[in-house]
Structure 1
Amino acid sequence: MIEIVTLCANASRGAVALECEWLGGKCGGAPAIVFLAKGTIDPSSDWPARLVRTLGLRGLVCGLAGGLSLRDQARDILPALFEALDIDPRMWIVGYREGATIALLYAAEHPRGLAGAILIAPRMFSQSPQVAHLLRARAAFEPAKLRERFACHAAHHEWTIEGELHGLRCPLLAIRDFPDDDGSAASHIDLLELHAHRADRLETHAHEGTAEFPPLDPMIRFISAHSPLSR
Structure 2
Amino acid sequence: MQNPASANANVTVTVTATATVSDFAELPATASHGPLRIEYRWVNERAGDAPIAVFLHEGLGSIAMWRDWPQTLCERLGMRGLVYSRPGYGLSTPRPHAQKWPADFMTAQACDILPALLDALSIDRDERGRMWVIGHSDGGSIALLYAALHPEALAGAVAIAPHVFVEDISVESIAQTKQLYETTDLRSKLSRYHADVDSAFYGWNDIWLDPAFRQWSIAGEIASIRQPLLAVQGHDDNYGTMAQIDTIAARVPHAQLVKLDACGHSPHRDAPEALNEAIAAFVLKISAS
* TM more than 0.5: yes
Task: Letter of the 1:62 partner, please give it.
Answer: Y
Tell me the CA shift for residue 74 of structure 1: 0.6
Whole-Å separation in 1 of the counterparts to 2:157 and 2:275: 15
Deviation per CA, 1:164-221, whole angstroms, max 9, x where unpaired?
0111000011110343469x42110111111112xxx411111121662471001111
1:56 to 78, 87, 102: 78
The aligned counterpart of 1:194 is 250
2:44 aligned with 1:36: no
**43-52 or 205-214, larger mean C-alpha shift:** 205-214
2:142 aligned with 1:102: yes
Q: Which runs of 4+ in 1 moved over 3 A?
A: 26-31
Task: Letter of the 2:271 partner, please give it.
Answer: E
The aligned counterpart of 1:224 is 284
Deviation per CA, 1:51-94, whole angstroms, max 9, x where unpaired?
11122221111212235511110110011011111222120000
Whole-Å separation in 2 of the counterparts to 1:130 and 1:24: 34
After superposition, where does 1:171-190 map in structure 2 within 5 Å? Answer: 171-180=228-237, 184-190=240-246
Task: Letter of the 2:256 partner, please give it.
Answer: E
Whole-Å separation in 2 of the counterparts to 1:164 and 1:188: 14
Whole-Å separation in 1 of the counterparts to 2:47 and 2:74: 15
The aligned counterpart of 2:267 is none
Relative distance call for 1:158 and 1:26 in structure 2 (3 A) is farther
Relative distance call for 1:158 and 1:49 in structure 2 (3 A) is same
Relative distance call for 1:30 and 1:64 in structure 2 (3 A) is farther
Query: Which 5+ residue runs of structure 2 have no aligned equivalent?
Result: 1-20, 89-94, 96-100, 172-211, 264-269
1:15 to 35, 46, 69: 35
Whole-Å separation in 2 of the counterparts to 1:92 and 1:124: 19
Say whether the 8 Å CA contact 1:108–1:166 is kept in structure 2.
yes
Say whether the 8 Å CA contact 1:104–1:165 is kept in structure 2.
yes
The DSSP-based 3-state class of the residue aligned with 1:215 is helix
Percent identity of the aligned residues? 37
Whole-Å separation in 1 of the counterparts to 2:170 and 2:75: 42
Say whether the 8 Å CA contact 1:112–1:169 is kept in structure 2.
no
The aligned counterpart of 2:197 is none
Relative distance call for 1:127 and 1:42 in structure 2 (3 A) is farther
Say whether the 8 Å CA contact 1:89–1:114 is kept in structure 2.
yes
Query: Which 5+ residue runs of structure 1 have no aligned equivalent?
Result: 132-154
The DSSP-based 3-state class of the residue aligned with 1:162 is coil
Tell me the CA shift for residue 42 of structure 1: 1.8
Say whether the 8 Å CA contact 2:169–2:238 is kept in structure 1.
no
The DSSP-based 3-state class of the residue aligned with 2:231 is strand
Deviation per CA, 1:16-57, whole angstroms, max 9, x where unpaired?
122211012289447521111244212662111011112222
The aligned counterpart of 2:166 is 126
The DSSP-based 3-state class of the residue aligned with 1:33 is strand
After superposition, where does 1:153-164 map in structure 2 within 5 Å? Answer: 157-164=214-221
The DSSP-based 3-state class of the residue aligned with 2:64 is coil
**TM-score, with length taken from structure 2:** 0.63
Task: Letter of the 1:220 partner, please give it.
Answer: A
**Higher RCO (C-alpha under 8 Å, 6+ residues apart):** 2
The aligned counterpart of 1:115 is 155
The aligned counterpart of 1:144 is none
2:260 to 207, 210, 220: 207
Relative distance call for 1:53 and 1:130 in structure 2 (3 A) is closer
Task: Letter of the 2:259 partner, please give it.
Answer: A
